[in-house]
Amino acid sequence: MKNRKSCCFTGEAELPEGNEIEIATKLEATIMKLIKIGVTDFKTSDETGFAKLAASIITKLKTEYHQINLQIIPLRNQAEHGDSKNYEQRIFEPCHELIDTSRFCIVYIKKYWGFPFYNTMYAIGNRNVEIIYI
């Protein structure tokens, strides 16, 4: 079930060197706008890069905005466990569930392939999710 007060994140595992501060500033401003319109639940994976940045910003903002929550789903090292036949189930399904249960999806992609791109394409196909690009 979609939560009208929730937001998920998907993005690159590596942020471009020298642009981290700019990306963080834009991301924090976007999160603040969502908090101001009543978004309280933020969801991301435990991946590096954009997901880690989003989690750190939410954690910092929780000190001032006690109503917000952060849910982190475990994905790191999932590809190393088990056979490749179950890869999609172990990796994509949890991320698709985050998208399916969110009203907003904040996206940072620079490549037209790979995990963040496929998650973004999935979010685009979900007409009930508003995609916000950073």
Look up the pTM and report it: 0.85
Domain count, the chain: 1
Q: What is the mean pLDDT of the chain?
A: 88
Residue-wise pLDDT for 97-115, tens only, equals 889 999 999 999 998 888 8
Residue-wise pLDDT for 1-27, tens only, equals 566 799 999 999 899 999 999 999 999
User: What is the domain-level CATH number for residue 14?
Assistant: 3.40.50.450
Sheet holding 69-73, edge to edge: 69-73, 41-45, 3-11, 102-108, 130-133
Give the residue-averaged pLDDT of 73-98: 68
What range defines the domain where residue 125 resides? Answer: 3-133
